[in-house]
Amino acid sequence: MRICIAGASGAFGMKHMDAIAAIDGAEVVSVVGTKPDAIKAFAEERDVAHHTTDLAEALALDDVDAVILATPTQMHAAQTIQCLEAGKHVMSEIPMADNIEDARKVVETQKRTGLVAMAGHTRRFNPSHQWIHNKIAAGELKVQQMDVQTYFFRRSNKNALGQARSWTDHLLWHHACHTVDLFQYQTGEVATKVQALQGPIHEELNIAMDMSIGMKVPNGAICTLSLSFNNDGPFGTFFRYICDNGTYVARYDDLFDGNENKIDLSGVAVSNNGIELQDREFISAIQDGRAPNACVTQAIDAMETLHKLEQCLEG
């Protein structure tokens, strides 16, 4: 499987570079960046045959089978459609779009082309959440409440590596998307009741720095999500599953019970790296000719819920 990574030298682009390197039968053959000298140096350092600042140039290559988009959120929908129209399978980092209209266009294009189009909903693939999902599927657990904290200290426009960037992040359409999708995935239902509040808009970034979200699905399970760019402390997202048969706390690829006893996840998947498992699913779906877990036709449910939440904020 010959893959092009757009945004390869960014924080998540490098995670995908490392993930593909760990997958037999997969190779990065092209990288796309915004600065000619920088992407040339990156390609040479990583021993990648082709580099460019123009995604269309990479899409024209016969030896590119699929594309991973680790580009700014605002570019995901247009670039996903561009890849599909060029006949390439594509996975975009979360979210698939930053508005519902573009998300629907992505789904429409995927259905028309029949190619694999996947959204990078990594939480579905983290072994910690896979363990919970397997227990739910086996009838051993039922989620009653998810209590989630997504916290960063980010009062300037920087990425996960602390580097300045040209685009602005968003608590709702990016960070909340992880939890909205995961809650609906784990409960197997789409939220029918939602509420959302946001704090003051930052004068320079022009985004809310604090947000509170509530959701409820038809089976009665609820989710409470707190998000902040103002948290001066450990950053990341921490999930507490309160179930009918135990309480569990997930921190990325690690899982603990309610009393902080670590749970052995060694038998859950072939890797303990959620990004690698996500990329493995993308490649496997292409090879098998099937829709992947987190196909855009599944991911659209989270986007529809985010749209409803956005309407709460506007109100």
Give the pair of three-digit tokens for residue 135. 């227990």
Amino acid letter, 48: V
Residue ranges matching CATH 3.40.50.720 in the chain: 2-122+275-293
Q: With a cut of 60, say whether residue 286 has pLDDT above it.
A: yes
Find tokens 């629907």 and name the residue: 104
Q: For the residues 236-258, what does the mean pLDDT come to?
A: 95
DSSP β-bridge partners for residue 243: 143, 246
Rg (CA), the chain: 19
Nearest to 91 by CA among 277, 305, 253, 306: 277
Q: For residue range 54-102, what is the model confidence (pLDDT) as tens digits? A: 999 999 999 999 999 999 999 999 999 999 999 999 999 999 999 999 9
pLDDT value at residue 166? 58
Per-residue pLDDT band at 11 (split at 50, 70, 90): confident
Q: With a cut of 80, say whether residue 196 has pLDDT above it.
A: yes
Nearest to 172 by CA among 198, 190, 194, 153: 198
Per-residue pLDDT band at 168 (split at 50, 70, 90): low
Q: How many whole angstroms separate alpha carbon 117 and alpha carbon 96? A: 10
Q: How many whole angstroms separate alpha carbon 164 and alpha carbon 153? A: 14
Mean pLDDT of the chain: 94
Q: With a cut of 80, say whether residue 169 has pLDDT above it.
A: no
- Class of the 2-122+275-293 domain? alpha beta
Residue ranges matching CATH 3.30.360.10 in the chain: 124-269+301-314
Per-residue pLDDT band at 162 (split at 50, 70, 90): low
The architecture of the domain spanning 124-269+301-314 is 2-Layer Sandwich (3.30)
Nearest to 177 by CA among 264, 92, 105, 82: 92
Is 298 in a helix, a strand, or coil?
helix
Give the pair of three-digit tokens for residue 31. 């990288």
CB 275 within 8 A of CB 16: yes
Q: For the residues 112-134, what does the mean pLDDT come to?
A: 97
